[in-house]
Amino acid sequence: MAHSVKGFDVGTMNLVGAEQDADGKIKVKLMRHTFLDIEANSFTKNMLKKQKVQYAEMGDKVYVLGDSAFELANIMNKTVRRPMQDGVISPDEADALPIFGLLVEAVLGKPREKGEACYYSIPADPIDASFNIVYHSNVISGALTNLGYTPKPMNEGHAIIFAELAEKDFTGIGISCGGGMFNVCVSYKTIPAISFSTSRAGDWIDKNVAHVLGIKVNRATAIKEKGINLNKPANREEEAVVIYYRNLINYTLANIKTKFEKAEQMPHFPEPVDIVCSGGSSMIGGFIEVFKEELKKLHFPIPINDVRLAEEPLYATAKGCLLAGLSEVE
Ligand SMILES: Nc1ncnc2c1ncn2[C@@H]1O[C@H](COP(=O)(O)OP(=O)(O)OP(=O)(O)O)[C@@H](O)[C@H]1O
Ligand SMILES: [Mg+2]
């Protein structure tokens, strides 16, 4: 029997919903976390309907949601709006909160039963930025409650442990390599021993590559996503991407090491553990090889058995949220 729980990954770049269907299979839905507002008139509305674009109306505006917002923004020479920045709801987009509710509904749909539980991802507190996630978490929780869900926050790194390390008794290290942040969780038998986030992630690479090459940020994103191999950069542009990727991975590992050495109550891992990497930023060619190389350079305090990619890097957080939810209702 399918349990009435949903998983929801609230990311800087992507929103992902996960649920179990009647046969117990996990279904996911991904949508870009963007929108575009345009003046509502019968002409634009007709055009949107004809193109089968997903949109919503509010006041005298129509809001084009998700991936279509990108396409339309290009045609209209406008810039899409992104409700989140650096891993949390953006203070610059405060008036976008009602639209956030529309995006949530477009990804998750309505609850299948009254008060259906929705486990949603939140970042761990950042070690290199001054904000905390209280506001962010409350905004998401409010939007979910408005839709009729019972919201349950779930640490993003911990979700990776649930999604990927069942066979290892939920022991190991999960890293979600996103657009706004990296989220790290070291877990011992489902219990998080360390979790933190850092603000160097995909957007950080794009910004820096753009800066050193003197190009626009979205051009840098395109270069990065077009299929680079970190071990075989083909030109100066790709080399810039590699430099920042290495720095990012090294930074993440060094932070885990420091956190681990400073922590007071650290579990003793009787056997070497696995590191699982997920998220869009882990999908670049050669990521795991470079990760292993950087790991070798450090005197890492935890014995590591293997480093691998999540089965479906873009869906692991949403899947983990769902599985954590299911494990609680069972
Ligand atoms: N093939 C690819 N190669 C390299 N980077 C990629 C690729 N595909 C996507 N990305 C990057 O992955 C990032 C988005 O990943 P993801 O969807 O996991 O982030 P998010 O969950 O929305 O963000 P966060 O968790 O940080 O809030 C972006 O920086 C994007 O540029
Ligand atoms: Mg994420």
Last residue of a domain, one of 23, 54, 81: 81
Tens of pLDDT, residue by residue over 3-52, are 689 999 999 999 999 999 999 999 999 999 999 999 888 888 888 889 88
Do residues 141 and 104 lie in contact, with contact meaning Cβ atoms separated by under 8 Å? no
Pocket mutation for ligand 1, best pick of 221, 225, 230 (most atoms within 8 Å of C-beta) = 225
* Closest ligand to residue 281's CA: 1
Strand order across the 55-58 sheet: 35-39, 61-65, 55-58
With tokens 């998401």, the residue in question is 140
* Closest ligand to residue 15's CA: 1
Shared domain for 166 and 281, answered yes or no, is: yes
Residue 323 included in any domain = no
Shared domain for 199 and 297, answered yes or no, is: yes
Do residues 15 and 30 lie in contact, with contact meaning Cβ atoms separated by under 8 Å? yes
**Shortest-distance Cα residue to atom 1 of ligand 1:** 225
Number of domains in the chain: 2
Instruction: Say what the pLDDT of residue 1 is.
Output: 47
**Reported pTM:** 0.95
Residues of the chain with pLDDT below 70 are: 1-3, 330
Last residue of a domain, one of 81, 98, 116: 81
Tens of pLDDT, residue by residue over 99-117, are 999 999 999 999 999 999 9
26-32 and 172-177: which strand pairing? unpaired
* Domain CATH number, residue 250: 3.30.420.40
Cβ contacts of residue 200 below 8 Å, gap of 6+? 128, 182, 247, 248, 251, 252
Cβ contacts of residue 194 below 8 Å, gap of 6+? 184, 185, 186, 256, 259, 260, 263, 266
At position 263, the amino acid (one-letter code) is A
Distance 176 CA to ligand 1 centre (A): 10
For residue 193, give its domain range. 159-309
Residue 197 included in any domain = yes
Residue 327 included in any domain = no
Residues with CB under 6 A from ligand 1: 11-14, 87, 176, 178-181, 201-203, 221, 224-225, 279-281, 283-284, 314
Cβ contacts of residue 193 below 8 Å, gap of 6+? 186, 187, 263, 265, 266, 267
Atom number in ligand 1 closest to CA 227: 1
Three-state DSSP at 47 gives: helix
